Amino acid sequence: MLQETAKVCILMMSFREMMEYLDEVNEKRSKETHKHGTYICAKVSKHSQNELAQCVKKMGIPNPLDKTEYHATITYSRKGVPQAKEYQFNLPITAKIDRWKIFPSQNGKKCLVAILESDELEHHHETIKKAYGATYDYAEYHPHVTVTYDYGDREIPSTIPPIAITFDAVKIEALDADKDYTKGK
């Protein structure tokens, strides 16, 4: 009986009221299932993991990450957007290394990251922000793969590996306030 009453009430709503109701439902679901936010990353394919790891080793980059941790963050939103699970990624996603850059790490050390040239990663980042209201803490999105979280005081490498980076999977999950998202697992 209660379900029939709900159906009748929904049928009697105007389109605007229906949209407002659905927005409220989505906002409530967002707060319940991804209350700390949403994290989305693209996972580097095994072939690209191997190629990048070989380059990192040849270049003598200290304290390299395990190649299985290579990933590119697409969304790190402090606002929960669980509905992003419905988003369609066109896999595989391709990228090439544009340059190296040093980012500060959470523990005060220097990270060496490969800044990527990828219209696809940038498109997914922007589309998810616009379509689902995801947030981003930085003024600019730089698609990248971190290769070490402890680079020391070395100069930025001048050699750019001539390899393509392929991403063959995407991970979407609720942010966990206690998890370190610098690791791609």
Q: Tens of pLDDT along 8-41?
A: 555 566 777 777 776 676 666 555 678 889 999 9
Q: Which one, of 183, 31, 158, lies nearest residue 107 by Cα?
A: 183
Is 90 exceeded by the pLDDT of residue 4?
Answer: no
Distance (Å, whole) CA 59 – CA 122: 28
Q: Which one, of 41, 163, 52, 161, lies nearest residue 91 by Cα?
A: 41
The pLDDT assigned to 70 comes to 98
Query: Which residues are registered as beta bridge partners of 164?
Result: 96
The conformational region for residue 50 under phi > 0 = left, psi -120 to 50 = alpha, else beta, is: alpha
Q: Which class for 1: exposed (0-12), middle (13-18), buried (19 or more C-beta within 10 A)?
A: exposed
Q: What share of the chain is helix, strand, coil (3-state, %, to 5)?
A: 35, 30, 35
Strands 71-77 and 93-104: unpaired
Is 50 exceeded by the pLDDT of residue 185?
Answer: no
Farthest CA pair distance, the chain: 71
Q: What does pTM read for this prediction? A: 0.79
